[in-house]
Structure 1
């Protein structure tokens, strides 16, 4: 037994530790909201102290063994159990992490007193701020008024005073407990343990998966008595992915190059039953989000602990019995062995144990390559290559000698609802890489052979080489089925060369130069001239320029590009300035409209010198839009209900697609929808019986603190969670303590989240989680609240849904990110690479619905990209929304169900939508600030009018009656009564229609 452990420790703490270790995590995920007292008044932790007889003064020593730093700077509140009132007369004799010694006045005499030792004040809502109370000790009234209160006298008075007894330490609930893994060993205990193991630089502590190692800088008390060990014994089931931990304690010095090696599992006859390849060491390496393998160089500072999470896949057909493996841990040139002894039962674990998250088997999901293939899905078509022409759904491109695109054509109809044989040019001339020497002369690049290789149904790659004097340009490019084209231009020189500029020119056709968003401009009409410079505080690296049915996004990337954080957190982990394009602030972009009306984009990098052997990477991505035809029948038939309500109640509204947010009874914790799967499945089953779909909030941006794998993920450093200043809700501060970014918080469920990093193995887990949800719960899709992953992950996500569910659906929500905090990013531009894989947009809080139709078309509607959406901020504007086929989402507003009723009465599902943006629209208005869209079907047409005028205006309709197939003289325009939208009214075809400011009409036309 370690020296200095008191009878209190033996009788109280160890009983708590052992009970908690055996029971607390065994079959639950802390899915409890029960609280023993009000934490916002008293904090989350207390010592229960008993006084056995009345006295004017009592002394108590609380051996709390706290994991927080500087407890001496946090206050104490003492509550008299009998009166429920706070005791003012409390003095601190000494306070440190190991224990606190106090003098207090037990006003009620004999009885119990509660010492709340981490009280705090909480302010804010979704991003709360917690400040812990400062110490406020003192003597009031006559209590100790004549006593000398210097430290020596306090110590003496403590020794002389009657002693109160600590009978237990409690937390607000089990989820907030510090036991067993966050009760620190004392300095003396740690030093003694080290002194007993002086021959080793690091010590190994095997630990059960049920007790995740939580502390980085302190040994837990739980490890002191048994000490380090070279054996771990566990119990596994057949087919289970069995997980355990080894805590590496850098006892005598810092160590690096931590590695873990396995021998495989040997059966009782010493035959190898499970190969070493069945083992995984998650902390030392794995498989990244893009399928590539990686290794990590782990360093552990002296005095710190590094958890090593290890898993082994037990075969389903293995014989029950005892199996052994030798595990070797190497660090800093030292090697130590540990024996793993596994008792495998005759029971088989369903789904490798994945149905029980607390068993940590899902950690294997981190290394998943699920859906990482080149297969495609509807409506996309395989990539076709004919010589240097590459064809994909609705688009065609040709490749020039230098590997850059010579032409891009779009075959989407002006309405983006179909594909035609007629081509619309995207580029006016080929893309051009320009090398300008110091004398302002353009260096002529000479190209050699180009190699084109069709990788599979979804991908084609090509390589080309060009040279100009000592300069060489290697072009590596890839094009995919969705309209993505990625370029890496490697520029090197055989001798020192100084250049005035290296720039890329993108000449857009006049048709594809009407609109723009990005580079600090809100979406809308494209300017004739525009200049832009790189700035790290701006989440900007490119723009989209185009017409409705033909456009192009370009984004300029560093060769070590990493996805920055977004949505409130951009400035904490911003864009990596590209070494090539930015060139220490010399680079930027110029846009200029040519005489023929086309815009040429020039991405320049400015003067620089290239040394022999130096390689510069001018990387950029292109997205050719639109991505897919809009299925308007599906649009009209999909009616959202964005709230958790009984299925019957939702059906009464007329909705058929339910989005279940987090912070709801069946999905309480953000981005961890695995805590109440039975309740979720029951709800979804009810919906399916009514032919309704249910999608859930599930994304990657932050992760709930109730995730079973939270501390295992923390052990991976900043791989999964972003480094940051900490703070946030009290649970995070008390259990994570440092180096994290606090995310969204929901008080109803005490759901405190942590912000994820940009791209990581967590995306593999996320995708496997989606796979599990589709197969075991039956979700029909997901609702994504802003995006924190790239298009590779989104492709995999869509494939999982397509392969597991009939008619799956993804919709994307975003708040407007055009603000300083988010780096003035346009949400549609930021997420454009994901649009080929989603079905609907919901843009969103803070979008500026008072801006013009050009803003609506580009930033809100989704139409130029093959999507549609709904409105959110203040319910949107229903008249303007109808122009683009949009409503708000029930039940936030009443008008969607009223519009749905009119749609169904008209039969809008059978109509063709012809918006004002299409030359084929058969109805026009006499004013540019009043827009019109027509929904045309045989024998009848519906038109939507919407005004952007500041006052009521009269408009005259210009109707192509032949296109409508109607006789003007026999036709009338009629408005049905729609509560809150319009009154009933009939108009003659030639009658001027008064359109109220900011409103409009929904009119039927028939004979």
Structure 2
């Protein structure tokens, strides 16, 4: 057929053809899909390509454009299966690289669907600490089949989609990489720039640090970011900086946003969390962001849209500045007529809670019950049950407590802790004091209910010593001691002497010493590379001090298996290149703690900081009634079944239906609230597991937090569960893993702005979900965060119960510290201890129980865990184990005795008190009395090496019972003791490691 076309028709056809040519993509977009958990990732990995073979013969060939972010894919195994799940053995691979790979296989089931799994891994390690290793390539193909593959064979399969085992494992779209040529092209088009800025919304977290996402290639470099926000919402967005050369100082500045009708969102309400904010301690956070050539840095920004903002579209500028060069971005934000509350934090998947990173909630140091405001009178500072007296040089001349030996009340009789004032000494090589001081006198710089601060300057000819110190309402003292050389000087030693009264130095814990009786003499040297040791607690039950020696750049080390990955910093002053150490030498009048730093020289102008902290113990009297009333059930179970046990407080661990993800209890909060509401209706309280030493990978903010470098997440070797390796990539420490729900945690770096988020989160859970407190499983934050947590948990008359569990930290991985010594700064705000795994309740002596487990010298009580504890020994300290972690003992039987005796309201008089009215005639068998009007419960327990018979030595007057009318009975307690009656003069048989509960009337 002959076509007669005029020029206009020809031109139209050419334009149409050009249009279709331009419209055809160079590479069709592969479809990415959710596999809906339709295969076992532990066998096949998390990713597969779905391939449709429609050809003939016994050779199928497909090229998969998988655009993988993992390095060296050629070193990973390929598994091919047919639609029924049968493995194809005849497989050959060609040109496997990050962009694509060619797979040739035998279509054993003929035409149809085949699956190519390309990242199978093998989980090694333990269940909770896996080590995912990717399987290496295998050649199972038959040689004869291989020989028949044609060299010019064309692709005869279609890749219909790429699937991840579920949506959470998907790489699409932010981890689907751009090809090398695509990246080269976009760089070439912007060759005059030192960096590019890619604009990304809050729903597509930037995840890769080196590869551009294909999504950015498709979008291109843009200069305008548009989004919609509700009134009152925190609108997060990202500026992805791609460095074409090394960038040393990346900042973002913002103008006001102005609407078409003249309304304004001020620039001060827009910020970048990567560079600016507020630290966990309330001080300003300023960070310098550097980006190496070829790397990507997500700059997370947020607009605090006022609730009063007018509806409309607002425009303004964000300017990314790096080394004097800048890129200007237009911001166009449409504010809808809808009003949200609390910044939209009820929708955390929208990154609204990133605002929490800069929170100052509960930061003001207000007094927390049961503590009382500090009172200053001349040089004396009084606080709950304690008093501090200061010398003109700023150091304590005396520290006193006023607690009774029973720890049940406060008296006017002081317990002196110091035998003479605390002092620094500057000595020559012969050990002689070399300096004569002139002192400026004591000057108070702050007098508040929660904090009193003071300063003093002492000057000699060669050295000036500036002392700045403070005490807080709970008995925590912080000293900054600045030593400045006024001329060149040499010293044989600079040392710090802490002289203690022997009566207040009976026990010791720390510096490599297990809790117990203080040794007669003691010598210790710094070893921060291996030991988390910088101080100790020395004291008696009702008076004591913890001291800690600190570098001026002190950073809290990691704990709970990770100390060696972030150990203590050796103090320049105290450590003095490992010349420093501590000795303890006692005599009849004093127990002298001497922290020496050894010989050194100082040039004129040199500065050393001899900083230290003190904690005055105990913190308060023991609340025994809380112990008897608060029977903990530590497991997620139906409310009715828990009620039947007699428990009154439920602890919800993680890894269950209402609190599935470790330290991120926000995803199933509706289920949690429903459970708590039912518990409250039935008279039970509910606490949840939530701490910050590690954070679940299910956190919505994971990659925003990763953009902050090492601020939130600790540096590390990576590895661990496959999801972490595939999405987080590298430079992290893999922590606790729950295989049943694939919850993989990442170690928190320590003191950082995640604690601000944590405080806000606890406040939100208290106010919106109704939690009654938290269960802490070891602690990675300091006392500042603990005080803030206690404030938000107890506001508006919420109970705010906090119990602390710790596995014994006295081991290599934890740096040989004692759990009680490590966490003592938190004890003022704890309600109960649960010292836990690896605590030996059988081999350790009573002094260990008293100091390391019971909490009594600090005003606390506790419970036992390991192997069910020892119920007989536990009751000497008012402890049982915890349901349903009973193992060898069921606490319900003892709980029933508590109730039948009426232990609530009784006075606990422990064996450690000289006022205890009952003792035995065997020093290895101890007795504690729970005294009421006209009756008493006596707990005796044996640490003797064999079965023994003992007699009770009873001070009937102190007991308040007429011996002529007294009866002594042992009520039957299942799995604890048989019923029996004794007379006062009878010998009572006590089995090795056991004891009795006796009621005297």
**Aligned match of 1:917:** 912
1:200 aligns to what?
193
Shift of residue 34 of structure 1? 5.4
* Residue of 380, 402, 421 corresponding to 1:430: 421
What is the DSSP-based 3-state SS (H/G/I as helix, E as strand, rest coil) of the residue aligned with 2:291? coil
CA distance in 2, matches of 1:991, 1:442: 62
Give CA deviations for 1:638-684 in whole Å, capped at 9, x if unaligned.
11000001111111000010000000110000000000111100100
The alpha carbon displacement at 1:720 in A equals 0.3
Contact 1:935/1:941, CA 8 A, preserved across alignment: yes
Aligned counterparts of 1:145 and 1:160: Cα–Cα separation in 2: 13
Q: Cα offset for 1:351?
A: 2.1
Whether the 8 Å CA contact 1:780–1:805 is kept in 2: the answer is: no
1:780 CA drift (Å): 0.6
SS at match of 1:908: coil
Q: Distance in 2 between matches of 1:106 and 1:599?
A: 84
Match of 2:10 in 1: none
Corresponding residue SS for 1:224: helix
Contact in 1 for aligned 2:517/2:847 (Cα 8 Å): yes
Task: Judge which range, 437-446 or 324-333, deviates more.
Answer: 437-446
**1:949 is aligned to 2:944:** yes
Matched residue SS, 2:740 = helix
The equivalent residue for 2:101 is: 100
How far apart, CA to CA, are the structure 2 residues paired with 1:752 and 1:6? Answer: 44
Question: What pairs up with 1:280-319 in 2 under 5 angstroms?
Answer: 280-319=271-310
The C-alpha deviation readout for 1:504-542, integer Å capped at 9, x for no partner, is 000110111110000001000000111111112100000
Give a deviation string over 1:860-889, Cα, whole Å, max 9, x none.
000000100110101111111100011111
Take 1:966 and 1:144, find their aligned partners in 2: how far apart are those partners?
97
Which residues in structure 2 correspond to 1:747-762 (within 5 Å)? 747-762=739-754
CA distance in 2, matches of 1:861, 1:695: 21
1:698 aligns with 2:702: no
Go from structure 1 to structure 2 and tell me whether the alpha carbon gap of 1:111 and 1:805 turns closer, same or farther (over 3 Å shift). Answer: farther
Partners of 1:58 and 1:161 within 8 A in 2:
no
Aligned residues: 976
Match of 1:502 in 2: 494
The alpha carbon displacement at 1:325 in A equals: 1.5
Q: Deviations over 1:726-750 (max 9, x none)?
A: 0110000000110000010001111
Structure 2: distance between partners of 1:109 and 1:522? 71
Query: 2:812 corresponds to which residue?
Result: 820
Query: Which deviations, in whole Å up to 9, do the C-alpha atoms of 1:781-808 show, x marking residues without a partner?
Result: 0001101011011111111112144322
> Distance between the aligned counterparts of 2:24 and 2:605, measured in 1?
70
Match for 1:58 among 60, 66, 75?
Answer: 60
Q: Does 1:521 align with 2:518?
A: no
Moved more, 628-637 or 812-821: 628-637
Local SS of the residue matching 1:143 = helix
Equivalent residues in 2 for 1:378-457 (5 A)? 378-443=369-434, 444-457=436-449
- Pick the aligned partner of 1:70 from 69, 72, 94: 72
Q: CA offset at residue 478 of structure 1?
A: 0.5
Cα shift readout 1:710-734 (whole Å, capped 9, x = no counterpart):
0000000000000000011000000
CA distance in 1, matches of 2:284, 2:596: 35
Asked if the contact 2:532/2:817 (under 8 Å) is kept, the reply is yes
**TM-score after normalising by structure 2:** 0.96
Q: Of 200, 213, 226, which aligns to 1:233?
A: 226
Alignment of 1:186 with 2:179, yes or no, is yes
Question: What's the secondary structure of 1:949's corresponding residue?
Answer: coil
Q: Is the 8 Å Cα contact of residues 502 and 588 (structure 2) preserved in structure 1?
A: no
Aligned to 2:317, the other structure's residue is in SS state strand
Q: Is the 8 A contact 1:59 1:158 kept in 2?
A: no
| Cα distance in 2 between the residues matched to 1:771 and 1:11 | 49
Residue 29 (structure 1) aligns with: none
Shift of 1:446: 3.0
1:765 equivalenced with 2:757 (yes/no): yes
> Structure 2 CA distance, aligned partners of 1:464 and 1:317?
50
- Per the alignment, in what secondary structure is the counterpart of residue 191 of structure 2? coil
Aligned partners of 1:330, 1:134: CA distance in 2, in Å? 45
Q: Which whole-Å CA distance do the structure 2 matches of 1:838 and 1:316 have between them?
A: 38
Distance 1:43 1:887 in 2: 46
Quote the offset at 1:315 in angstroms: 1.1
Distance 1:315 1:299 in 2: 32
Match of 1:191, SS state, is: helix
SS in 1 for 2:186: helix
Aligned counterparts of 2:938 and 2:916: Cα–Cα separation in 1: 10
1:933 aligns to what? 928
Alignment of 1:531-680 (within 5 A): 531-536=523-528, 537-596=530-589, 598-680=590-672
For residues 391-411 of structure 1, give each alpha carbon's deviation from its aligned partner in whole angstroms, at most 9, with x where no partner exists. Answer: 100000100121110001110
Q: Tell me how far apart the structure 1 counterparts of residues 69 and 275 of structure 2 sit (CA, whole Å).
A: 26
Query: Which among 964, 970, 973 is matched to residue 959 of structure 2?
Result: 964
State whether structure 2 residue 794 is matched by structure 1 residue 799.
no
How far has the Cα of 1:982 moved from its partner? Answer: 0.4
Match of 1:47 in 2: 49
Distance 1:420 1:307 in 2: 60
Counterpart Cα distance in 2 of 1:862 and 1:954: 30
Tell me, which stretches of 5 or more residues in structure 1 are unaligned? Answer: 25-32, 148-156
Q: Deviations over 1:527-586 (max 9, x none)?
A: 011111111210000000000000000000000000100001111111111111000010
- Gap change, CA 1:114 and 1:942, over 3 Å in 2: same
Change (3 A) 1:111 1:758: same
Q: How far, CA to CA, are the matches of 2:737 and 2:402 in structure 1? A: 46
Unaligned runs of 5+ residues in structure 2 are 1-17
User: For 1:683-707, what per-residue CA distance to the aligned partner results, in whole angstroms no more than 9, with x for missing partners?
Assistant: 0001111221100001011000010
Mean Cα displacement is larger for which, 42-51 or 133-142? 133-142
What is the alpha-carbon distance in structure 1 between the residues aligned to residue 308 and residue 286 of structure 2?
31
SS at match of 1:909: coil
Give the C-alpha shift of residue 373 in structure 1. Answer: 0.5
